[in-house]
Structure formats: structure tokens, C-alpha cells
Structure 1
């Protein structure tokens, strides 16, 4: 188990955000670009740090640290989802339910998200490990470093993980870029 050194300043949260009806669209290039741009726009107005993140085909997990005294993650997620939905509305058409029509939402995201406030350093470490192991858990790759849509390799570069952490022992001979 790695031991991370970081200050828990501000409020830190773990999130799970899921696509509407679990459509496997989040790893598509247009969606990744739209999500990256949306996060950038929202961070410009409402700052937050992304401590760790993984993008899966139908959901994402991330940990954010908000500035001291700021707990308005809902507004941030609302704006991110809105930007992505607006940008990608024609690329991912879907039958819109009566509920989506009533709430004026696109059929890209589930309306809600799951959040958990990080309690301490140990809780943060467990959630970071969960995030980075998620592609292996779901069977997309045999080792965490092989999944291109996560912050795992940033953690390796910063010395927080060994390259083969969270991998299948059969992958021990594989090289890391």
C-alpha cells in the first residue's frame, strides 16, 4: 500500500457520475474533449483540484478538493454536465423520456451523482486506489497503467505508485512508457 503525503485543506469528496442508461460513451474522443473543456470552464469560475480521476465507458470516478469553506460541488457538476450535454447533444441523440423532458435534461447523464466526503488520509488513499483499480476490476485492462483515461500514470510519475501496482501478476514483465 502506498502512503501519500498531501494536505487535506478544503473539503474533499469522492464522486461517481454515471451516463444515462449506462451508455458507453465517456471514452469516445468527442465526449472526452467536451468533458475536459467543460471541467476547465467550470474550474475557471469555481476552482477545485482534481486529486484523482478515472474515466470509464459508462461512468467516472474522481476526487475533488474544493477551496476552504466551499462545499458547492453540486453547482460544479451541474455546470459540467450542462456544458457536455450542450456540446454533445447532436453526437449522442437518444430517445428522451418524459422525465428528461420535464426536467429539461439531455439523455447523456443520469440526473444525480453519488458523493462521499473524504474523512481522513486513510479514506483518501482507499478511494484513490479504488479509482485507479477500477479499469482492472471491470476487466478492461490487466494492469492499471494500461488504462489511458486515468490519473494513475501521473501518480506513478510522482512516485506515489509503483508502475505495476494494481495489476495482474502475469503482467510483471510488461514495460512502462
Structure 2
């Protein structure tokens, strides 16, 4: 994951699309439990409704997430912090515990073209196939994409 020092001098732009990858602390498979994965999935539309993001695709893997979003009102670090802190709070509450859920930092990439946007979306929803969790696109219950996946 990126060091905070690598973020110095970087800026995020409202209206720009980004991919975010966030990993669980010690790669703990939090999201192997469907209750946890469902809790995480519910946060993407919430952030969209709050005007922070516009989700284009996401996948909740056992020990990490990939999220393709268009940034709305706040800088990318703020949006990443919101989803990580909110999910940690909900997961800890669900399991009657406290403590970190996520590794510090995250990996991000600014998507610069429409063609690249679709490639990133297909990469994200194809992640469960590459990990052996699914055999075809659209079958993994913890992935979503704004575009139909008929042209894979």
C-alpha cells in the first residue's frame, strides 16, 4: 500500500475516475464471511448518496476491495478514509470487538480514458475469477459493475 509520503504534492480532482484498492490488516479474510461482505457492499451506495462518489464498479474479495469510482465533492484521501472508518466501525460492532480492520494507506490510480475505464471495470469484476472464487463474470455475489458485462 502507498506510503503517506508518496501522497505529498498529489491532488485529486472532482469528476475524475479512480481505482482504489484497500487491503485488510494482515490480509485477514474479513469478507469470507458473507455478513461482512454484505455490510461492506452497502457502503458504496451510501457514499454515492452522500455525494462523495459515483460508483462504477466494485468487488469485495476475502481480504481486500477494489473500487472504481468517479470522485465527487471531497479529495480522494477523504473518501478512502470515510469508507475505511465506516466499515471498520460497522464490522467491529457486528462482531463485538474493537481495533483496526484495514492496512494503512491504499493504492489508487487515476483513469484517464473511457476505454481504460471499461478495462478497469472488467478487471475489477473479473477479480473473483482470477482468484478461483467464481467461474464466470456476474456469478460472484460481492461484485457489481455499472455496465452490462455482455462484451467480456
Scaled by the length of structure 1, the TM-score of the pair is 0.67
Mark the structure with the bigger radius of gyration.
1
Deviates further, 22-31 or 138-147:
22-31
SS at match of 2:112: coil
Runs of 4+ residues over 3 Å off in structure 1: 36-46
Q: What is the root-mean-square deviation in Å for CA atoms of aligned residues?
A: 2.5
Using CA pairs under 8 Å that are at least 6 residues apart, name the structure with larger relative contact order, 1 or 2.
2
Counterpart for residue 21 of structure 1 = 26
Scaled by the length of structure 2, the TM-score of the pair is 0.77
Aligned pairs for 1:3-152 within 5 A: 10-67=15-72, 70=73, 72-90=75-93, 91=95, 93=97, 106-152=99-145
Task: Give how far 1:34 is off.
Answer: 3.3
Structure 1: 5+ residue stretches without partners: 1-8, 95-105, 166-177
Distance (Å, rounded) in 1 between the aligned partners of 2:30 and 2:58: 17
Number of aligned positions between the proteins: 138
Distance (Å, rounded) in 1 between the aligned partners of 2:96 and 2:100: 8
**Given that residues 30 and 88 in structure 1 are in contact (C-alpha distance below 8 angstroms), is that contact kept between their aligned partners in structure 2?**
no
SS at match of 2:59: strand
Deviations, residues 16-52 of structure 1 (Å, cap 9, x unaligned): 1111111111242332343245445544444310001
Distance (Å, rounded) in 1 between the aligned partners of 2:82 and 2:74: 15
Structure 2: 5+ residue stretches without partners: 1-13
